[in-house]
Homo-oligomer: A and B are copies of this chain.
Amino acid sequence: LFGAALVAYGKQRDPLPSWTEGPNKASIIEFVETVTTPGSPKFVPESRRIAAIDNDGTLWTEQPLYFQALYLLQRIKEIAPEHPEWKTKEPFASVLQGNLKKALSGGEKALLEMTLATHAGLTEDEFSDSVRRFLSSARHPTTGHLLTDMVYQPMLELLDFLKANNFKVFIVSGGGIEFVRIFSENLYGIPPERVVGSSLDAKYEFRDGQPVIVKQASIDLIDDHAGKPVGIHRYIGRRPILAIGNSDGDFEMLEYVTTGDGPRLGMIIHHDDPEREFAYDRDSSIGRSARVLDEGPQRGWKIISMQSDWKVIHPEEKK
């Protein structure tokens, strides 16, 4: 029965045309077939067909800088007139002087400081308007493409394939939950309530007599490393059966997902294509991936090579 389903499947339209034929593509299709075949001992009911998928470096590019960092930098310049003290205060001073490298030398801590300073005090509507404005025109520093065109075509196909098989697909991002929620529906067909991410505290307040939600200057959840399973628990409430990430920040999510009972699939997108995208792993400050590559294979995780598993990277290449 199961083999027959696979054969029947092969006669239909290829659901993953941008994926190279080979063991990784076959693993994905076999996994989806297995959990959706009624009567199969590994059948998983729709309510438990949950997929958790990282965003930066997994659904879209994250080099040379997280796109949310590009937003932060632009916003710092925008509101600098209200903050004369930034002229002499790092990392803001370096941003305003155009010295990105120095501004970002403080790593995650500097990014967090910039996030708190630029996001806190905004209402939810002000923040989403601001991000929407940014994304409508922001371009990638090296390709010149709109940031929103820097999504990965093979992953868009995989999202469609999962949704067509009645998976509930969630984004589980180390990035800001509200930032990702702005574009997740348009870009990926994933509605805001299916986005899990890092967050600031929020407060119910009044502005001009109207009730609003205001972002605070304190951290609610860092949805990275062990924070990813915690975020999944908080927002989804069930252990997913499929997880995809690209960096060591996804290790715990894949560990949590793939050690559950029943059929499980974990995948790591490996950025090994310097020609068509970027090549980086264990030595990169952005998207560092060492442990996932070292321990992943023995845990049964599939390492997806962007160079050899993906026929195209971004949708533009199809034109």
Chain A interfacial positions (CB closer than 8 Å to B):
47, 124, 168, 170, 177-178, 181, 185, 191-195, 199, 202-204, 210-211, 213, 220, 226-227, 229-230, 233-238, 252, 255-256, 259
With contact pairs A194-B193, A252-B204, A259-B210 given, residues A199 and B47 touching in the complex (Cβ less than 8 Å) = no
Contact B211 A229 (CB under 8 A): yes
Contact B204 A237 (CB under 8 A): no
Contact B195 A237 (CB under 8 A): yes
The complex is assembled from copies of this chain, and their number is 2
A sample of 6 cross-chain residue pairs with beta-carbon separation below 8 angstroms, ordered by A number, consists of: A181-B237, A192-B238, A210-B259, A211-B252, A213-B233, A213-B256
Contact A185 B47 (CB under 8 A): yes
| Minimum CB distance partner of A225 in chain B | B204
Contact A236 B193 (CB under 8 A): yes
Please, which residues of chain B bring their CB within 8 A of the CB of A195?
237
A238 to B199, CA, bound (A): 15
Top 3 A-B pairs, shortest CB-CB distance = A192-B237, A204-B226, A213-B233
Contact B230 A202 (CB under 8 A): yes
| Minimum CB distance partner of A184 in chain B | B237
Q: How far is the CB of A298 from chain B (nearest CB, A)?
A: 15
A178 to B207, CA, bound (A): 33
Besides A181-B237, A204-B252, A213-B233, 16 more A-B contacts (Cβ < 8 Å) are A168-B193, A177-B237, A192-B236, A192-B238, A193-B236, A202-B230, A202-B234, A204-B227, A204-B229, A204-B230, A204-B256, A211-B229, A211-B256, A211-B259, A213-B230, A213-B256
